[in-house]
Amino acid sequence: MVVQRLFLNFIGGLSLCLGFLGIFLPVLPTTPFVLLASACFMRSSPSFHRWLNQHPTFGPIISNWHQHRAVTRKVKLRGVLAMVLSFSFSIYIVSHNWLKIMLIVMLVILLSWFIRLPVIEHLADQEENH
């Protein structure tokens, strides 16, 4: 049980660090890493889980996902851009055609799932009703 908690804390911390880097690096997606960190901390550290959910940057990402299974338009746009850029680079550097085809198929599957995610915007980000 202690080993499991340590492992989940380690994975949660690593995911949170990668999510933080994703804020600044366009090819590293923030949302999946923050959600993974939240799931790990939920099972291993209630105090970290509470802190993460109340964080001004990461909290809304987690709330949108848990309440609506949705992401903001900005997150979706950054995610699509990151996927296309990173897969394009991988396809470019791979020398075997069968690997290129496999990467293209993976990209199409991943994009088709990601693009279908519902979009939700914060009420504070929207104009008031006319």
Sketch the domain layout of the chain as residue ranges: 2-123
Letter for the amino acid at 81? L
- Find, among 104, 23, 9, 107, the residue nearest to 57 by Cα: 23
Greatest alpha-carbon span in the chain? 57
Letter for the amino acid at 31? T
What pTM was computed for the model? Answer: 0.66
C-alpha to C-alpha distance for 94 and 104, rounded to whole angstroms: 12
| Tens digit of pLDDT at every position of the chain (130 positions) | 899 999 999 999 999 998 888 888 766 778 888 999 999 999 999 999 999 999 998 898 888 888 888 888 887 888 888 889 888 998 999 999 999 999 999 999 888 888 888 888 754 444 433 3
Cα–chain center distance at 15? 10
